[in-house]
Structure 1
Amino acid sequence: MPASTKRQTTGTATTKAGASSARKTSKLTVSRPELLVDGSDAAFRALVHDLLAFSARIQDIRNKFGRLLDLSGTSYTILMSIAHLQHGEAGINAIADHLHFSGAFITTEVNKLVKAGLVAKVTNPEDRRRVRLTLTPEARTQLDALTGIQSPVNDMLFPLSAEEFQMLGQIMSKLVVSSDQALHLVDYLALQAKVAEG
């Protein structure tokens, strides 16, 4: 075997050995046994990457739906929420809770929809200090027309059985809550690390 080939083969073997050694000595990114497979966090990392990829794609789809109505993806999502919450009439707080956004952010975005003629504000008869949001006829017409695209896209996006769909809904509700807690935890731990360095 030529010397150059020997060096290349040896180098490849060394690289593979090094990578294997690195995998063995890498610290785990999770510690809960339920998230480890044979003592490895590889399956967990693969799941996170799949979730990131799915999240990016579903956001792209939302943005495309929005652009069909000359809206941002966020404005489209808020418009859809107003359409489907409380029979097409909802308050700022209900929308904020449903979408996990702050009330201030929803107020700003709703004002854009009002300006675009897609949302109307009406006084809440139960509390005149608050307003309720309702779709304008123009918004309803546009959303009705969009269902011809939404329906087949959403069907393809979620090729699940009824059981899988129900299970996914329960899991996602649980993960939304835990992700809020994780956000607070990462801020706390980052602050603690800075304090320790100081």
Structure 2
Amino acid sequence: MAAPARKRSGAQAQPPARKGARRAPTIPLTVSRPELLVNGSDAEFRQLVHNLFGFMALHERIRAGHGKTMGLAGVEYTVLISILHLAAKGEVNVKTVADHLHLSGAFITTTTRKLLQLGLIHKTMDTVDRRRVTLTVSSKGRAALEKLAPIQRRINDTEFGCLSREEFRALNSLLERMIACGDRAVALQTYLLSGNTPEDLDAID
């Protein structure tokens, strides 16, 4: 007589752990704020960080492609188009661009020197204070950006095509706040890697 069939459950039974089996090592948390932990885990935080890396890697490829159309590196293209757009709001100098892009003044000085050599921008010295230099995009630079614009619009529309108007504005606001937090995090890292300890910081506070 055949044995009665066993009732099958939806989940496969797991074999009991063997005695003496090694437990998986505990991974230290990378954040401690309750707002960033889900059920005591930082897995979603790590996913967020890695998603940011992934998006920025793709965006950097796009930016490099834009720059390549005019013989520039990606960041050089960004400085050029930033000067054009900032100039619509007022006078532009090295500090204006550095603050806008969150880059050092020395880096912007080096980059604008190359753009000047390529004839893509003009530098105009103040007649009274020769230390004061105004940056403007030349007709050659403007022509290069205007030639790129139709392709750029299609690519940008596709890259951010998943966002609604509300999501776009919310994301922009979030990023501004995250950049401010990032500035503080960089300052903290510099402080701690200089041989100071979190306890030293607590003492200052």
**Shorter-chain TM-score: what band?**
0.7 to 0.9
**Structure 2 residue 119 is the aligned partner of structure 1 residue 130:** no
Gaps of 5+ in 2: 1-13, 198-205
- Is 1:179 the counterpart of 2:179 in the alignment? no
Residue type matched to 1:34 in 2?
E
Q: Deviations over 1:34-63 (max 9, x none)?
A: 001111110000000000111111111111
Q: Provide the rounded CA distance (Å) in 2 between the counterparts of 1:167 and 1:61.
A: 23
Query: Computing the radius of gyration over CA atoms, which structure comes out larger, 1 or 2?
Result: 2
CA offsets, 1:83-130, max 9 Å, x none?
100318511110111011111211111010010010011234685431
Task: Work out which of the residue numbers 150, 153, 160 in structure 1 matches 2:152.
Answer: 150
* Match of residue 87 from structure 2: 86
Quote the RMSD (CA, aligned, Å): 2.4
How far is 1:187 from its partner?
Answer: 2.6
* Separation (CA, whole Å) in 2 of partners of 1:157 and 1:184: 32
TM-score, reference length from structure 1: 0.82
Percent of aligned pairs with the same amino acid = 46
- 2:65 is aligned to 64
Letter in 2 for 1:181: R
- Kindly state the Cα deviation for residue 193 of structure 1 after the two structures are TM-superposed: 7.0
Q: Secondary structure at the match of 1:28?
A: coil
**Which position in structure 2 is the counterpart of 1:118?**
120
Which structure shows the bigger proportion of residues in helix conformation?
1
2:101 aligns to what?
99
Q: 1:193 to 1:91 in 2, by over 3 A?
A: closer
* Distance in 1 of aligned mates of 2:169 and 2:107: 30
**Which amino acid letter does the alignment assign opposite residue 42 of structure 1?**
A
Structure 1 Cα separation of the partners of residues 185 and 128 of structure 2: 37
Instruction: Please point out which of 160, 165, 169 is paired with 1:162.
Output: 165
Matched, 1:192 2:195: yes
**TM-score of the two chains, using structure 2 as the length reference:** 0.79
Distance across 2 between alignment mates of 1:163 and 1:151: 20
Shift of 1:26: 2.2
Aligned partners of 2:186, 2:194: CA distance in 1, in Å?
Answer: 13
Runs (5+) with no aligned partner, structure 1? 1-9
Match of 2:41 in 1: 40
Q: Is the alpha carbon distance of 1:158 and 1:26 closer, same or farther for their aligned partners in structure 2, counting shifts above 3 Å?
A: same
